[in-house]
Amino acid sequence: MGNLADINEVLYHTGLSAAIIEKAEYAILPGDPGRVEVLAKAFGEAKFIASHREYTSWLTHINGKAILVCSTGMGGPSVSIGMEEFARIGIKKFIRVGTTGSIQENIKLGEVIINNAAVRLDGASRHYAPIEFPAVASLELTNALVAAAREVDVPYHVGISVSSDTFWPGQERYDSFTGYVPRALQGSLKEWQALGACNYEMETATLFVVAQSMGLAAASICGVVAKRTQSEHVASSDIYQLASERFISVVKRALLNMTKEGK
């Protein structure tokens, strides 16, 4: 069962307890604290419950079941800290939502990517498992997201993410302050493309490895707001809005289906 906290014990980093989250077993994890309220309200009647550091939390309900929506900030370290505390207060299933940059020509702006695995360019996951250990998603949660995308008619792709601890050199971007990318990372974008990876982002590898190490389930879905085969820049606000609306609709339908079925 793991080291569960007492029901009323408020944990340090997230400011949450099992009682505060009404014994929720699902957590939806955006990176951006500013996205939490919109997500929670899109799922149903929602209420603010806590905010500490990068962890802003709202609680909502679907089919009578409590659902935690909590931001994790950017990158793997804060994801791992949050997941440790979420697990201790009873969360069993994690779905990361966010934005991403596609690296394949056939993946268009505004579409969604459901990652079933991730390349471990992060550092946090190495504190949970050796680099030879794969970063893989829960088959159950991934299939639920795929089925939901089909049901709500959202264009989607399933594949491998490249999870980097940095936004610029790790993703081979040259529009940084210095424009410098270390030799070991030069040409890495073409390599990941050749290997069939779909996208760059910063949290999924940590999410998958930490969840697997705890015996819990995790999945990830991101909206495409940059197309690296064309530009290193994020697309317009209209594309950002479209991508957000699409991943929200997919996650909502998946949660409706899973909670209705009692999974």
- Does 85 qualify as catalytic in the annotation? yes
List beta partners, residue 52: 55
Task: Note the helical H segments in 152-214.
Answer: 188-194, 204-214
Give burial (CB, 10 Å; 0-12/13-18/19+) of 109: buried
Q: Which of 217, 196, 193, 197 is nearest to 207 (CA)?
A: 217
Question: Of 13, 52, 61, 127, which residue is the catalytic one?
Answer: 13
Using CA atoms, how far apart are residues 116 and 137, in angstroms rounded to an integer?
Answer: 5
User: Residue 203 CB: number of other CB atoms within 10 A?
Assistant: 30
Give burial (CB, 10 Å; 0-12/13-18/19+) of 64: exposed
- Two structure tokens written together for 82: 């949050």
Question: Of 96, 120, 228, 253, which residue is the catalytic one?
Answer: 228
User: CA torsion angle for 163, 145, 53, 3 (degrees, to 10)?
Assistant: -90
User: Residue 136 CB: number of other CB atoms within 10 A?
Assistant: 18
- Two structure tokens written together for 13: 């980093």
Taking a C-beta distance cutoff of 8 angstroms, is the pair 98, 69 a contact?
Answer: no
- Does 203 qualify as catalytic in the annotation? no
Question: Of 96, 173, 246, 253, which residue is the catalytic one?
Answer: 173
Question: Of 54, 85, 172, 203, which residue is the catalytic one?
Answer: 85
Taking a C-beta distance cutoff of 8 angstroms, is the pair 115, 162 a contact?
Answer: no
Identify how many contiguous H helices and E strands the chain contains and give both numbers.
6, 10
**Residues annotated catalytic, as ranges:** 13, 85, 173, 228
